[in-house]
Chains A and B, each alone.
Chain A
Amino acid sequence: MALLVATRVKHYFGGLCAVADFNLELQSGELVGVIGPNGAGKTTIFNLITGVYRASEGSIRLRDIELVGKTPHQITALRVGRTFQNIRLFRDLSVLDNVRIAHYAQVRYSPLEALLHLGRYRREEERIIENSRRLLSIFKLEHLAGETAKNLPYGSQRRLEIARALAIDPELLLLDEPAAGMNPNEIDQLMEFIQWIRREFQLTILLIEHQMKLVMGICERIKVLDFGETLAEGPPEAIQNDPKVLEAYLGEGPVG
């Protein structure tokens, strides 16, 4: 069954068409990459899926639930996690709190129980602390639980962002340029890591990436966007040799 189906999605910023006609069918368990030149509308698509923007036209359905019109936190609570192109951690908060905050929708106690620290408060708090620390230990960040997020080195911040996204307990994980700012060696590690979390957390992953090595290496299917339109779609080998893709990336004219 398709987990996520986007049909004829359009989005305008004022008069500017950012996404012209976006269609996507994401099967449960797939790992799909979205590539395209800068300004192709890749991040906009993530923002449309997660409800940061409301699609001007079209429909985005997750397990047959319409996402267009829902707020980000409602969509997130439907088990959609994401990371950001530019790291957006809660910089002045502790590493642990960054992960704990993402449990918001899963914590079951009322405002009154919170104000009085009574009822389900204690049990729920203990549960999310335990789960947060488990996530941190998976990402080798547990010893930094009390550290302020902004003090972490870049690589650790990237890992913390993924840990935070996983705290949502997502079924669908959206990774926005996870390899940004990484050297080839780190990219190799990241590729292994993405495949590992995919198995371990049984995730469906949609990722945006500029690093061809990563996209071609781990994605089962690639979607190429340009000016908000799908230029090509298919397995990595087909995309690599697609003349339209080469044209968009390298320019017109006879190649080689």
Chain B
Amino acid sequence: MKTIGNVGWEWLMAQRWLLPVLIAIGFVLAFAIPEYNLLNKYVQLVMMYVGINIILTVSLNLVNGYMGEFSLAHAGFMAVGAYTAALLTQKVLPVAAYPGLFPLAVLAGGLMAALLGLIVAVPSFKVRGDYLAIITLAFLMIVKSVIENIDYIGGPRGIPGIKRLTTLPWVFFWTVVSIWVVRNFVYSKYGRGVLSIREDEIASDLMSVNTRRVKFLAFMVSSFFAGIAGALFAHLLQFISPRVFDIIKTTDVLIMVYLGGIASIAGSIIGATVYTVLLELLRPSTVAAMLGWLPAVVFDPLNEYFIRHLGVWRMVIMPLALVLVMIFAPRGIMGLREFRWFIPRRDLDAHRRPTVHGGSHGAARSH
């Protein structure tokens, strides 16, 4: 039985022209919002974090969701991208005179991370599952301690005073690019190779899939965008240190991946957005801002209560929500499902049943 909501949703998803229109509107807004201060600075900041987190989630989903591995190295790739880009804008590129050089630094961060992604891909040829997770964890620890021990890049103190070059349009641009590229990859022979590795690696190899090449590519694309996200993050936070990119950062992204749903681009977008926004909504100051319309008699004690307790409970409420999602939707909100907007039309048509009047099957039989 289809509900009216379902029919409406299907109709909406069939309007494929809406996606480019929405992206275009998004771009206009991304320029207009900071230019005319349409939203306050805090909301703009949250929007940028949402974008960066979407990039991180989509890219990690490629390895952990589509390929079915469990990589913990994402924060490490992010660190490599962040440090590469920050060093370039601090010490090499004259970004003060030419702000147009910033994208070069971001790109360099992504490429450097991709290069390290290749190295992490190598153990995945032999090792799978929990054991690969341990190897990626080791990689994360190595990256962290290498950075801590190089004094030139600030050691454990990190790099302060990074220029704030990340803007809403840039975040939006890279978010769109990462979604587009990961989607393209997934709907290609390499992407299907990634899926078949998750399903049955030996059968995949026996069906002519060059599993090593596919793993190389998947890790490379995944770490490239983690590096991009790191570069954007560094130039937004304006301060990076090895501690910023520890295992907690990886677990944040993991939560967004599994909350949104594995092997789904729509899931990655939803997971990153929901998690980031809800965590912000649970801040006492945000709650206060939302309840500001209440009369002072009610508001003041409430506000005092929230300031005292919500900060503490924030990190309990959110994981609790995650537990509930995992119990009631074990594959996450959109696990293994996808908005049809993201699926190439060719793929949609290819999966359709042949109709009585058309389709290659009917044509073949009429000969």
Report if A105-B208 is in contact (Cβ < 8 Å); known contacts: A111-B217, A130-B360, A145-B352. Answer: yes
The reply to whether A71 and B199 form a contact with Cβ atoms under 8 Å apart is: no
Q: Report the stretch among A84-92, A204-212, A240-248 that lies at the interface.
A: A84-92
Interface membership of B192, Cβ < 8 A: yes
- Cα separation A241 to B189 with both chains bound (whole Å): 50
Interface of B is mostly: helix
Q: For residues 228 through 249 of chain A, which have their beta carbon under 8 Å from a beta carbon of chain B?
A: none
Residue of B nearest to A144 (CB): B353
Q: Distance in Å from the Cβ of A114 to the closest Cβ of chain B?
A: 4
Residue of B nearest to A87 (CB): B203
Interface membership of A94, Cβ < 8 A: yes
Q: Contact string, B214-243, partner A, CB cutoff 8 A, digits 1/0?
A: 000100010000000000000000000000
User: Which of B209, B336, B344, B364 gathers most chain A CB within 10 Å?
Assistant: B209
Instruction: List, in ascending order, chain B residues with CB within 8 A of A71's CB.
Output: 205
Q: Distance in Å from the Cβ of A198 to the closest Cβ of chain B?
A: 21
The reply to whether A90 and B360 form a contact with Cβ atoms under 8 Å apart is: no
- Cα separation A252 to B190 with both chains bound (whole Å): 55
Q: Report the stretch among A10-18, A96-104, A217-225 that lies at the interface.
A: A96-104
- Cα separation A116 to B183 with both chains bound (whole Å): 10
The reply to whether A164 and B351 form a contact with Cβ atoms under 8 Å apart is: no
Instruction: List, in ascending order, chain B residues with CB within 8 A of A167's CB.
Output: 207
The reply to whether B208 and A91 form a contact with Cβ atoms under 8 Å apart is: no
- Cα separation A146 to B352 with both chains bound (whole Å): 6
The reply to whether B189 and A94 form a contact with Cβ atoms under 8 Å apart is: no
Choice from B193, B221, B336, B360 contacting A104 with Cβ under 8 Å: B193
Q: Contact string, B337-356, partner A, CB cutoff 8 A, digits 1/0?
A: 00000001010001111100
Instruction: List, in ascending order, chain A residues with CB within 8 A of B354's CB.
Output: 137, 142-143
Interface membership of A54, Cβ < 8 A: no
Q: Distance in Å from the Cβ of A128 to the closest Cβ of chain B?
A: 8
Instruction: List, in ascending order, chain B residues with CB within 8 A of A126's CB.
Output: 346
The reply to whether B352 and A93 form a contact with Cβ atoms under 8 Å apart is: no
Interface membership of A121, Cβ < 8 A: yes
Interface membership of A159, Cβ < 8 A: no
Instruction: List, in ascending order, chain B residues with CB within 8 A of A72's CB.
Output: 202, 205-206
The reply to whether A115 and B181 form a contact with Cβ atoms under 8 Å apart is: yes
- Cα separation A105 to B192 with both chains bound (whole Å): 12
- Cα separation A105 to B207 with both chains bound (whole Å): 9
Residue of A nearest to B365 (CB): A137
Report if A97-B195 is in contact (Cβ < 8 Å); known contacts: A114-B188, A134-B360, A137-B361. Answer: yes
Instruction: List, in ascending order, chain B residues with CB within 8 A of A134's CB.
Output: 360, 364
Q: For residues 183 through 197 of chain B, which have their beta carbon under 8 Å from a beta carbon of chain A?
A: 184-185, 187-193, 195-196
Choice from A94, A102, A143 contacting B208 with Cβ under 8 Å: A102
The reply to whether B209 and A101 form a contact with Cβ atoms under 8 Å apart is: yes
Choice from A50, A88, A90, A107 contacting B189 with Cβ under 8 Å: A107
How many contacts between A and B, using CB within 8 angstroms?
130
Interface membership of B210, Cβ < 8 A: yes
Interface membership of A194, Cβ < 8 A: no
Interface membership of A125, Cβ < 8 A: yes
Instruction: List, in ascending order, chain A residues with CB within 8 A of B89's CB.
Output: none
Q: For residues 105 through 135 of chain A, which have their beta carbon under 8 Å from a beta carbon of chain B?
A: 105-107, 109, 111, 114-117, 121-122, 125-126, 128-130, 132-134
Instruction: List, in ascending order, chain B residues with CB within 8 A of A103's CB.
Output: 189, 208
Q: For residues 47 through 103 of chain A, which have their beta carbon under 8 Å from a beta carbon of chain B?
A: 50, 52, 71-73, 76-77, 82, 84, 88-94, 96-97, 100-103
Q: Contact string, B310-332, partner A, CB cutoff 8 A, digits 1/0?
A: 00000000000000000000000
The reply to whether A142 and B181 form a contact with Cβ atoms under 8 Å apart is: no
- Cα separation A82 to B350 with both chains bound (whole Å): 25
Instruction: List, in ascending order, chain A residues with CB within 8 A of B351's CB.
Output: 94, 96, 145-146
Choice from B190, B211, B221, B350 contacting A73 with Cβ under 8 Å: B211
User: Which of B184, B208, B353 gathers most chain A CB within 10 Å?
Assistant: B208
Q: For residues 132 through 170 of chain A, which have their beta carbon under 8 Å from a beta carbon of chain B?
A: 132-134, 137, 142-143, 145-146, 164, 167-168
5 tightest Cβ-Cβ pairs between the two chains A and B: A114-B188, A146-B351, A90-B199, A105-B208, A72-B205
* Known A101-B192, A103-B208; 11 more pairs at CB < 8 Å: A52-B202, A73-B210, A76-B205, A90-B200, A92-B336, A97-B192, A104-B189, A104-B209, A114-B185, A142-B354, A146-B351
